[in-house]
């Protein structure tokens, strides 16, 4: 393969990534706030830690630090318009729950709500924060997971034949997965 070299910032080499909508409680306004975040990562299985990178300029950053908790909500491929709208607005000046008529469900362990439209959500307690360049890595300990009944198979693997996850490509482009998983070397489904 022929390669063309370029400087950082010239292309989104790290995409596609799943769109994760971070939910936070806004006690002052008596509402919640939701923002799409593509820079997320699982960090540890024991304890179960999940990291989200937020710009300190976002309202979500401010509220997650204030309440010490957040939810993460994963959307299906048909929700690109919702993700885009959540990313264009800010909780600093808009109540997105009202403006976008978001359906929420209460958390089971924490008091930050989850998005009803998500195929899977997790409630996280904020346990660490790290400044990483111009972002803050917020580390959440997962307290509870809420999944649509048909979203995961018996191995806990996402059923992409039922649920196509929303992926972000950068700029204003989104995608989803093929409806069939790929098994390397002709294998069939096995638990690892």
Ligand X SMILES: Cc1cc2nc3c(=O)[nH]c(=O)nc-3n(C[C@H](O)[C@H](O)[C@H](O)COP(=O)(O)O)c2cc1C
Positions in the binding site for ligand X (CB under 6 A): 19, 33, 35-39, 53-55, 58-60, 83-84, 87, 89-92, 168
Question: Smallest gap, in angstroms, from Cβ of residue 114 to ligand X?
Answer: 16
Nearer to ligand X, 99 or 189 (CB): 99
| Shorter beta-carbon distance to ligand X: residue 88 or 108 | 88
**Which residues make Cβ contacts (< 8 Å) with residue 79, sequence separation at least 6?**
19, 117, 166
Pick the closest to residue 39 from 76, 3, 87, 82 (CA basis): 87
| Least distance from ligand X to the Cβ atom of residue 180, Å | 25
Measure Cα distances from 90 to 25, 49, 50, 57, 176 in Å: 14, 26, 23, 10, 25
Minimum CB distance to ligand X, residue 157 (Å): 24
Between 4 and 101, whose beta carbon lies closer to ligand X? 101
Q: Which residue is nearest to ligand X (CB)?
A: 87
> Is residue 121 a contact partner of residue 109, using CB atoms and an 8 Å limit?
no
What's the CA gap between 121 and 12, in Å, rounded?
26
**H helices within 110-174, ranges in order?**
none
Task: State the nearest-atom distance from the C-beta of 186 to ligand X, in Å.
Answer: 35
Residue number with CB closer to ligand X (159 or 170) = 170
């Amino acid at each position: 393969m022929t390669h063309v070299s370029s400087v950082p910032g010239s292309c989104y080499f790290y995409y596609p990534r799943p769109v994760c909508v971070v939910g936070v409680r806004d006690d002052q306004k008596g509402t919640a706030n939701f923002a799409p975040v593509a820079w997320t990562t699982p960090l540890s299985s024991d304890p179960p830690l999940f990291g989200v990178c937020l710009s300190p300029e976002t309202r979500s950053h401010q509220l997650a630090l204030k309440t010490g908790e957040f939810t993460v909500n994963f959307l299906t491929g048909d929700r690109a318009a919702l993700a885009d709208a959540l990313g264009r607005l800010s909780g600093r000046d808009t109540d997105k729950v009202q403006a976008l008529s978001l359906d929420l469900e209460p958390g089971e362990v924490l008091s930050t709500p989850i998005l009803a439209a998500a195929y899977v959500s997790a409630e996280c307690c904020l346990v660490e924060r790290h400044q990483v360049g111009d972002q803050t890595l917020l580390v959440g300990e997962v307290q509870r997971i809420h999944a649509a009944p048909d979203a995961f198979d018996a191995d806990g693997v996402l059923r992409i034949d039922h649920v196509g996850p929303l992926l972000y490509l950068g700029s204003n482009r989104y995608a989803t997965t093929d409806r069939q998983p790929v098994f390397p070397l002709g294998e069939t489904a096995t638990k690892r």
